[in-house]
């Protein structure tokens, strides 16, 4: 076990819980928050909660591991060529968060030499910490996680879906059509990171989104793989900065079925 990775893993468990407490406090007082829209998109919102939680996380990392790089949704990036780089979404599911829904979380991932080695998704409302270290398995709090077993097709569970205005509607409509034709069913909760964690926990059969930013999905993709599932490489084609499609499934068989739908 790489001691440097283990140190960051242990540190990030405490850090994400502290950040979760701050986020939960904002959530319980969300009517007092000032809401802004990014680039004029009313569906892409940000609040002081997002900014404060990310600032807390970034400051703590800088104090403990000043040599590490950082990529955050709200404050940008620095030191991406460092040996270690942290990828942070302070509140994934800002719209559900602001509207009093339960589908939001905090997501933290760590890259080591351009490989995701730590992934954590924390749901403060339910006190559920989904966490994984490369090669060490995936856990929900202290209990090992496993994807849906057995699963042979999309008929064996629910498929989580995500969508944004960064891509046209026609990108996902053929996928939804074929999923329903093949006897599958989908849900959308507004948080891609939390949905990926649900795949790892065996609650969802799979998750697909035509485009996600890396801070939304890096942690979740490691969770799925370490829980025994299959997921695409989101870092391909400069995915760290440009984002990528995301497809994660309980196993290779279901992944291939969904990948064919995606290609339609």
Give the per-residue pLDDT at 206: 98
Q: What is residue 184's DSSP assignment?
A: -
What's the predicted TM-score (pTM) here? 0.95
Residue with tokens 């403990």: 64
Is residue 81 part of an annotated ligand binding site? no
Name the pairing type of β-strands 185-187 and 206-212.
Answer: unpaired
The tens digit of pLDDT for each residue in 144-194 reads 999 998 999 999 999 999 998 889 999 999 999 999 999 999 999 999 999
The tens digit of pLDDT for each residue in 181-213 reads 999 999 999 999 999 999 999 999 999 999 999
Which residue ranges form the domains of the chain, and what is each CATH number? 3-144 (3.30.540.10), 158-263 (3.40.190.80)
Q: What are the backbone angles phi and psi of residue 263, rounded to the nearest 5°?
A: -80, -5
The tens digit of pLDDT for each residue in 6-32 reads 999 999 999 999 999 999 999 999 888
Is residue 226 part of an annotated ligand binding site? no
Is residue 259 part of an annotated ligand binding site? no
Q: Do 129 and 122 contact (CB within 8 A), yes or no? A: yes
- 10 Å CB burial of residue 81 (0-12, 13-18, 19+) is exposed
Is residue 123 part of an annotated ligand binding site? no
């Amino acid at each position: 076990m790489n001691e440097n990775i283990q140190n960051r893993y242990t540190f990030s468990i405490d850090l994400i819980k502290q950040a979760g407490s701050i986020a939960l406090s904002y959530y319980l007082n969300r009517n007092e928050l000032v809401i802004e829209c990014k680039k004029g998109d009313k569906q892409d919102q940000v609040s002081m909660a997002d900014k404060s939680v990310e600032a807390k996380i970034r400051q703590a990392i800088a104090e403990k591991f000043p040599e590490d790089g950082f990529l955050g949704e709200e404050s940008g990036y620095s030191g991406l060529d460092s040996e270690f780089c942290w990828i942070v979404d302070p509140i994934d599911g800002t719209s559900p968060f602001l509207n009093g829904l339960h589908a939001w979380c905090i997501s933290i991932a760590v890259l080591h030499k351009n490989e995701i080695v730590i992934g954590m998704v924390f749901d403060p409302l339910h006190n559920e910490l989904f966490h994984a270290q490369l090669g060490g398995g995936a856990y929900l709090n202290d209990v090992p996680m496993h994807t849906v077993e057995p699963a042979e097709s999309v008929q064996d569970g629910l498929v989580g879906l995500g969508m944004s205005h960064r891509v046209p509607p026609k990108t996902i409509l053929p996928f939804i059509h074929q999923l329903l034709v093949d006897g599958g069913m989908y849900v959308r909760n507004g948080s891609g990171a939390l949905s990926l964690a649900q795949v790892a926990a065996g609650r969802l059969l799979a998750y697909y989104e035509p485009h996600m930013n890396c801070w939304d999905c890096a942690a979740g993709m490691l969770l799925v793989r370490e829980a025994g599932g299959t997921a695409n490489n989101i870092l391909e084609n400069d995915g760290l900065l440009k984002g990528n499609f995301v497809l994660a499934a309980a196993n290779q068989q279901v992944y291939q079925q969904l990948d064919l739908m995606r290609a339609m």
